[in-house]
Structure 1
Amino acid sequence: MNRILTYGATLSAVIALSAGAAFAQEEETAQLDSQYTDADGDLVADAPEDEGALRDPDTLIFAYTPVEDPAIYEDIWTPFIEHLEEKTGKDVQFFAVQSNSAEVEAMRSGRLHIAGFSTGPTPFAVNLAGAVPFAIMGADDGQFGYKLQIYTQADSDIKEVADMAGKRIAHTSPTSNSGNQAPRALFPDLGVVPDQDYQVTYSGSHDQSMLGVVAGDYDAAPVASEVVDRMAERGLYDPEDVRIVWESDPFPTTSYAYAHDLTPELKKSIEDAFFSFDFEGTALGEEFTGVSKFIPITYKDQWRVIRQIQKANGVEYTPQGLAAE
């Protein structure tokens, strides 16, 4: 470059989780669209029982989350795509999606087979599009994740979260975890209620929020640490011009998922490609510093904290909810 709630008092439980406190897990049921089933209780769509409904396309379409300008990532992902082609025996095409809703809709319609979904939209992809998350980028020791950070200008009078009251604050998009969902769940207990103590302005992306803070268009913005770190490495802003007001404990980062209706053999070869890929010496490894491999994960376990935050915010996994993004 892990944590089921109602709004009010249950937000304190989320914050306790963020601080690493133990949490009694409650039984969850899947919230899948009616076209999917979850007989085994893993909260993701089961493969079709009818073998004739399983897909084994000659060309696989791969997309990466549009958290930043998607065009710059096609070259970065080329080494992995070539590795994926070798392991699956398929042609693989990179699909530069322009929004989270477009990415989810592409898998829901059957046009997208493998994708990296950003943290907040992952539950939408699971429930609306039949996505099955199986991997995440991580380090050799198995650690993974990113932090929600609040940035302001270096000379700003915002010293703590409560100081954002009455200021111009940029969130990224409604479905973003660190850019909107987590702030709405966590900030009230830190001194400000979004849309009550300050008016939320949606910038559209983490990079736009950060650049807006640097330019003075916004007084502060909650963003994903991994995004702003990469921006600094590319020289898109001077870290001396900004400072961090507050940061959370780590959240899971982008999930990598395949469509639920691919053949078991194809799913296995896709997993093999991810888990055998060597980041070292590749453009992907240079872009995503601090990670060295893909690590196996499950939606049920690693996305529990995100589901809790979204439940606290009253999120419903519907096309209308996603369209608001």
Structure 2
Amino acid sequence: MLKKMGLPIALMITALMVVLAGCGQKANNVSAGGNGGNNEAGTAADTKWPDVLRIGNLPMEDGEASRNADQFAKDLGEYLDIKVETFEGEDYNMMIEAMRSEKIDITTYGPFGYIIAAERSGAKLLAAMNNGPGTEGTSVIIVPKDSPAQTIADLKGKNFLFADPASTTGHLYPRAAIMKAVGIANEEIETYFSNVSFSGGHDKSLLAIANGDADGAATCSQCIKMIADAGLIKEDDVRVIGESDPIAGGGALAYRGDLPADLVEKIREFALAYGEKNPEYFKALGVAGFFPAEDSDFDGVREVAKLLEMSPEEMLE
């Protein structure tokens, strides 16, 4: 069974969590807008807005990224005329469970985190966080710059890091890429390497590789430059030796299905316009902004999950 690695570095930068929690009531007095998804929110009886919105994110090493998250919360609060508070989570599993137990209402998941949340927590799609249609990313397998390894097969018997159990680019897709590259079954991954661990995030994995603390790791293709731009590593500290298939969908801005419909549409309206108005916010995350999306955009992720033949419980354990 995979074990979680306790590296003393902040959790991954790429997964910004946007959270709403209802406290009290606010009468709706705005009309619905936006067209970023095909999910229905709430019911006709859902006419009250919360007085307080809690917007959360995973801890970030990069101070600029943290400031941008605070600015997003401030801007959304002003747009909706609702008090906004921030909420800090720990990992994808916590956010999925928090939505299931109705402790949070909106968050940004990775693609795999989203399909688990849709199954477990009734999450529905608001928009996708990526670089726009036709700009699918990939996962990459990386090694320290001085490593003798040239292919994934050269890492046999070495120690290997995935990012987070529910990470699409840091676990799901690279796991499938490893299986394909060396011709092994999913259950053989743990014995193919001498040790397999979760670092806790893309930034942790990259820092471990840059510092020579691990032989190989999986991360998102854009994460290397993003973490380097944050000053945490140099791009040439790591070297890519493998790559996954393209990953459709991107990060998913998702909501709990019983939120008031007009509130959902106003948040979607705000999110879809935010990249153009505040490009620096998304620059820190390595993407261009939120874009219209459909739940079916994530079917490729569901297909890879089936290939791995692992339940959500197994992937998150």
Structure 1 length-normalised TM: 0.75
Asked whether the 8 Å contact 1:121–1:175 carries over to 2, the reply is: yes
1: CA distance between counterparts of 2:236 and 2:65? 27
Relative to structure 1, is the Cα distance of residues 70 and 316 closer, same or farther in structure 2, using a 3 angstrom cutoff?
farther
CA contact (8 A) 1:70 1:98 kept: no
1:129 corresponding residue in structure 2: 121
1:59 aligns with 2:52: yes
**2: CA distance, partners of 1:290 / 1:322:** 26
List aligned pairs for 1:192-207, cutoff 5 A: 193=184, 194-198=189-193, 199-207=195-203
Could you tell me which runs of 5 or more consecutive residues in structure 1 were left unpaired when the two chains were aligned.
Answer: 1-43
The range that moved more, 171-180 or 267-276, is: 171-180
Q: What's the secondary structure of 1:307's corresponding residue?
A: helix
Amino acid at match of 1:113: D
Report what 1:314 is aligned to.
309
Deviation at 1:289, TM superposition (A): 4.6
Aligned CA RMSD, in angstroms, stands at 2.7
Q: Distance in 1 between matches of 2:279 and 2:176?
A: 37
Measure, in 2, the Cα distance between the counterparts of 1:85 and 1:276. Answer: 15
Q: Does 1:270 align with 2:270?
A: no
Measure how far apart 1:92 and its partner are: 2.2
Structure 1 position 49, deviation (Å)? 5.3
Q: Any stretches of 5+ residues in structure 2 without a counterpart? A: 1-37
Q: Residues 63 and 94 of structure 1 are in contact (CA less than 8 Å); yes or no, is this contact kept in structure 2?
A: yes
Per the TM alignment, residue 95 of structure 1 is displaced from its structure 2 partner at its CA by 1.3
Structure 2 residue 208 is the aligned partner of structure 1 residue 212: yes
- Following the alignment from structure 2 to structure 1, what is the Cα–Cα distance between the partners of residues 279 and 98? 28
TM-score (norm 2): 0.77
1:90 matched to 2:87: no
CA distance in structure 1 between the aligned counterparts of 2:156 and 2:315, rounded to whole angstroms: 28
Q: Quote the residue 2:225 is aligned against.
A: 229
Q: Residues 163, 119 of structure 1: CA spacing in aligned structure 2 closer, same or farther, 3 A cutoff?
A: same
Structure 2 letter corresponding to 1:111: K
User: Residues 175-214 of structure 1: CA distance to partner in whole angstroms, max 9, x if unpaired?
Assistant: 2222222233221221164213213222222211111111
- Number of equivalenced pairs: 274
2: CA distance between counterparts of 1:107 and 1:211?
A: 30
Offset of 1:245 from its aligned partner? 0.6
Residue 250 of structure 1 is matched in structure 2 by: 246
* Partner Cα distance (1:155, 1:304) in 2: 38
Give the superposition deviation at 1:240: 2.1
For structure 1, which segment, 275-284 or 248-257, has the greater mean C-alpha deviation from structure 2 after superposition?
275-284
Does the C-alpha gap of structure 1 residues 246 and 167 become closer, same or farther in structure 2, counting only changes over 3 Å?
same
Task: Choose the corresponding residue for 2:172, options 181, 185, 190.
Answer: 181
Matched, 1:149 2:140: yes
Q: Any conservation in 1 of the 2:145–2:239 contact (CA below 8 Å)?
A: yes
TM-fit CA distance, 1:135 = 1.0
Shift of the 138–313 alpha-carbon distance from structure 1 to 2, 3 Å rule, reads closer
1:112: how far off?
1.3
Contact 1:151 1:221 in 2 (8 A): yes
Q: What SS does structure 2 have at the residue aligned with 1:77?
A: helix
In 2, are the aligned partners of 1:45 and 1:130 still within 8 Å (CA)? no
